[in-house]
Amino acid sequence: MSDNSLNNLPGGFKGMSQDMGSDQTAFKGVQWGKVMMWIFLLSDTFIFSCFLISYMKGRTSTVVDWPNTSEVFSLHVNGVAVPLLLIAIMTFVLITSSGTMALAVKYGYEKNRKMCGWLILATAIGGLTFVGMQAFEWSKLIHEGVRPWENPFGAKQFGSFFFMITGFHGTHVSIGVIFLFIYSRKVFRGDFDKGKRGFFTSMKSDYVAIEILGLYWHFVDLVWVFIFAFFYLW
C-alpha cells in the first residue's frame, strides 16, 4: 500500500500512542486483511505454545527415560546411522521455501507477474516436498512400533506428543500448499494486475494478498524453528 502521509507521522512509541489514540484506524498503512492474518497467527501462536508447553511438562514430569531423539530420528546411509538427517533436510527445504516466498512478495509488489508466479509455485513445491518427507518419517516410525500410547524407545508420552505436534504443523503446511497452488494460478492468470473480483469475497484482487499468504507461510516456518529446537534437538 503506497501511502505518503505515513512518512509524516511520528515513529516509535510516540507514534504508537498517537496511532492508538487517533480515534481512527489504529494500524495505519496496514490493509485490514493483513491485520486479520496477524491476529489469526497470534491465536495460532497460542495454540502451538500450548502444545509445546504441555510437551515440556509431559517430558520433564515423567520418571521414565525419554527416547534419544538423535537415534530415533536417524537415517541409515550406506549402513551408517546419520542422526537427524531427514529432519535437517526438512528444515533446509522449509527455509528455502520461506526464502522463495519472501521474494515472491517482493516481486508481487513490483508487479512482476511471471517472477511472482514462479516463486509461489517453487514455494508450493518446497512445501509439498516437506509434507512428503514428513509422511515418510511418520510411516517409518509407525513401522518401528511408535504409537500415541506406546513406543519401543522409552517414555510412552513420546508418541502422543510427536504425532500431535508434528501432525498439527504438517496440517498447517498442507493447507498452505493448497493455498500456494491456488494463488500461483491466480497470479499467472493476472487476477492481481486486473483487480479481478474474487469468487469468495467479491473484492478486488490486490498484490497485498501475496504478502498475507506470505505471512502465513513464514509463520509455518517459524513454528518449525521452535519444533526443531524443542522436540528434535532437546
Partner 1 sequence: MDEIENKETVASTHKIGIYLWIWGLLFVLSFFSYMVDWFQFQGLLRWTLILIFMFLKAGLIMAFFMHLFWERYALVNVLLWPMTAIACFIGLMAAEAKYTVFTRLLYFFIGG
Q: Using CB under 8 A as the criterion, which residues of the chain lie in contact with partner 1 when the complex forms?
A: 1-4, 6-7, 9, 11-13, 15-16, 19-20, 26-30, 35, 38, 42, 45-46, 49, 53-54, 56-57, 60-63, 70, 83-84, 88, 91-92, 95, 98-99, 101-103, 105-106, 109-110, 211, 214-215, 218-219, 221-222, 225-226, 228-229, 232-234
SS3 150: coil
CB of 149 closer than 8 Å to CB of 141: no
At 131, the amino acid letter reads: V
The residue among 54 and 160 lying less far from partner 1, judged by its C-beta, is 54
Shortest approach of partner 1 to residue 24 CB, angstroms?
11
Angle at which helix 85-109 crosses helix 113-143, to 10 degrees, equals 160
CA 232, CA 128: separation in Å to the nearest integer? 21
End-to-end CA distance of the chain: 42
The residue among 63 and 202 lying less far from partner 1, judged by its C-beta, is 63
Shortest approach of partner 1 to residue 164 CB, angstroms?
16
Shortest approach of partner 1 to residue 91 CB, angstroms?
5
Q: Give the count of beta carbons closer than 10 Å to the beta carbon of residue 155.
A: 16
